Amino acid sequence: MGSVAVVGAGPAGLTVARELSRMGHDVTVFEEDEVIGRPEHCAGLYSLAGLRKIGAWSTSYVVNAVRGAVFTSSRGKELLVERPAPIAVVARREELDRYLAELAVSKGADIEIGRRVESVRAQGNLSLLLNGEWRRFDAAVIAEGMRRTLTRSIYGPLRASTPIPIAQSLIRGHGLDPDRVYVWFEPYLEDYFAYAVPLNEELARIGLASRSDTLGLLKKFTDTRFAGAKTLGYQIHTLWLDGPLDIGLDGRVVLVGDCAGQTKPLTGGGVVVGGLCALSAARHVHALLEEGKDGTYRKLVRWIYADLRATKFLRDELNRRVGVDALIELASDSGIGKELSVLGDMDFHALSLLRSLPSLSGLRFIVGLLAALF
Ligand SMILES: Cc1cc2nc3c(=O)[nH]c(=O)nc-3n(C[C@H](O)[C@H](O)[C@H](O)COP(=O)(O)OP(=O)(O)OC[C@H]3O[C@@H](n4cnc5c(N)ncnc54)[C@H](O)[C@@H]3O)c2cc1C
């Protein structure tokens, strides 16, 4: 057994900490903020199956359950993907993080809050700099989220990419069906989308991703789609939507979660995907410390990374060559929404499409796509 430092008490770091503690390692999580789960930066939508897979399921943080999603093209055509029973939950994210922290502590992890890791020395003796003092560990898991400060300091310059700004607000009086979440491809949103995640009959989190004027566009979206609603405050965040990095998968310092790009390229959701990768990272660290065996993480996340990269490729190519609107309309006309409703997986989008293609509606979708492409 060995000593493992985890940087960041978000869902990815806390999941690794829980697993490694359960395996008997001496785990310390360092979190720079004073309160776990704050500041909150999430729409709070997670697949039920995904939460179960990552060992994070509990009713304690749930505020709503949803059965499906409605995607609306800029010309108003709808694609409905829906199940008879709930497929996802809407959560209070702070409480989810707190629950994950309790689980990690119950397995033996130590969490030091208000403790920022200033630097990581990965050569020679592995050490972390905290309050001007170097502390040695056998392995380290970097789960620092969006910022990638330590990630860059360890691995050098990363591939050129820019995070996508996302503005989110809470509104009262949404008038939507609280059993569904909603995605709109508005004519004034060139690259990305707007969404609504109802918390109940009255309240919904709404948000919008766009490379420029994100807040201005969210206000415009709110005024047009939710004219009668009351806005209860805005927040601005950023998201990585460009797929996983090919670093931090080997050796005694590994990356998990947002800093590794483990988020869904279509929606930016990262709690379940990052959590699944965190389970693999924990097995990797365990194999390395117990048997000196490297390569487990890279091998275990191969299929997850393949799906994320295929999803990004499809998004970019189809967006460039066909356009989101045409795709939504094609999907709606072909009837593939029915296949997606049954066979789709909220966390793996390329796989969902692949599963839905061998069907009559899938065939209609492919024929329509080919006609649009050539
Ligand atoms: C507006 C918005 C809506 C979203 N909606 C959803 C959604 O509905 N569903 C979904 O699945 N995902 C969603 N996401 C994405 C999701 O929030 C992230 O994928 C998830 O939080 C990633 O978890 P993480 O543990 O990698 O990072 P984080 O949750 O960001 O945690 C990283 C932690 O590391 C700490 N930290 C950073 N640097 C240091 C340091 N040097 N020393 C000590 N501590 C440090 C930070 O304080 C932070 O607590 C959304 C994101 C945004 C911005």
pLDDT, tens digit, 9 for 90 and up, residues 179-234: 999 999 988 887 789 999 999 999 999 999 998 899 999 999 999 999 999 999 88
Question: Which residues are registered as beta bridge partners of 115?
Answer: none
- CATH 3.30.9.100 in the chain is located at 164-239
* Distances from the Cα of 321 to the Cα of 110, 318, 351, angstroms: 50, 5, 21
* The dihedral sign for the CA sequence 350, 225, 209, 50: negative
The one-letter amino acid at 36: I
As a whole-number percent, the residues of the chain with pLDDT over 70 amount to 100
* HSE-up (13 A, CA, CB side) for residue 106: 7
* Distances from the Cα of 233 to the Cα of 199, 209, 211, angstroms: 15, 17, 21
> Picking from 111-125, 246-260, 314-328, which range would have the lowest pLDDT averaged per residue?
314-328
C-beta 111 within 6 A of ligand 1: no
Atom of ligand 1 nearest to the CA of 36: 49
Amino acid 274: pLDDT: 98
- CATH 3.50.50.60 in the chain is located at 3-44+92-160+242-307
Amino acid 162: pLDDT: 83
What is the rounded distance in angstroms from the CA atom of residue 12 to the CA atom of residue 254? Answer: 12
Ligand 1 geometric centre to CA of 330 (Å): 34
C-beta 141 within 6 A of ligand 1: no
Amino acid 140: pLDDT: 98
Ligand 1 geometric centre to CA of 41 (Å): 7
Q: For 141-152, write each residue's pLDDT tens digit.
A: 999 999 999 999
Please give the radius of gyration of the chain, using alpha carbons only, rounded to the nearest integer.
21
List phi, psi (to 5°) of 65.
-130, 140
For the cut 80, the answer to whether the pLDDT of residue 159 exceeds it is no
Amino acid 149: pLDDT: 95
Q: Which fold does the domain 3-44+92-160+242-307 belong to in CATH?
A: FAD/NAD(P)-binding domain (3.50.50)
Which residue's alpha carbon is at the smallest distance from atom 33 of ligand 1? 8
Ligand 1 geometric centre to CA of 36 (Å): 11
As a whole-number percent, the residues of the chain with pLDDT over 90 amount to 82
Q: For 49-94, write each residue's pLDDT tens digit.
A: 999 999 999 999 999 999 999 999 988 999 999 999 999 999 999 9
Supply the mean pLDDT for the chain: 94
Atom of ligand 1 nearest to the CA of 257: 26
What is the rounded distance in angstroms from the CA atom of residue 80 to the CA atom of residue 180? Answer: 10
Architecture per CATH, 164-239: 2-Layer Sandwich (3.30)
Amino acid 188: pLDDT: 87
